Copies of this chain bind each other. A is one copy, B any other.
Amino acid sequence: MAPRKPLNPAAEADVGRDFYAGVAPDLDVGFFSPMWHLISLGHLVATDLDRIARRHGLSIADLLVLGAMRIAGPERLRATDLALRLHITNAALSPRIARLARAKLLERVPTAADKRAHDLVLTEEGAVKTDAAIAEVSRTGQFARNFVKLSDADRAGIARTLGLLHDMADRDFVP
């Protein structure tokens, strides 16, 4: 049999859902398509972001760390605070922070109150580089360009509903 040209992902996901509805009628398969869209689309968006970040000498992982610190503003974040916001483990964050500190994009300053911890502070150069990369994401990122093609109602709806799901997943998250 000649390999069929794959359907578009939305139709393909529903084929899978319907297949499993037939194979296992006792299962709830309503979550099937949106879950696959989340995983695959999340991966595609992250890959595109990584390409953009690398033009600035960063990875997407670097950019997420720097962006979270930029947004935190004057607030002093420790590694653990950052890991909670990014939903990654401390072990993943450690070498990244070391690398960004070596590149002089952030500084580790000892926390006064706790000798175990370090406060993380963005340098001027780190802030400038972060803003430049984020501006390019806004101008040339695939997601930004595709998102505006949705209707106003769809944009508002997906932003709100993804927020609800993200909040629920955040409550399930244990580092």
Contacts and interface: CB of A to CB of B under 8 A. Distances in A.
Contact of A166 (B28, B29, B37): B37
A173 B1 contact: no
B76 A3 contact: yes
B150 A164 contact: yes
Interface string A27-64: 11111011101111111111011000000000000001
A146 B163 contact: no
Interface of A is mostly: helix
A135 interface: yes
A9 interface: yes
A23 interface: yes
Interface residues of A, number: 82
Nearest to A111: B3
A43 B1 contact: no
Nearest to A155: B30
Given A16-B71, A143-B169, A167-B8, A162 B38 contact: yes
Interface of A: 1, 3-4, 6, 8-10, 12-13, 15-16, 19-20, 23-24, 27-31, 33-35, 37-46, 48-49, 64, 67, 70-71, 73-78, 81, 84-88, 131, 134-135, 138-139, 141-144, 146-150, 154-155, 157-159, 161-170, 172-173
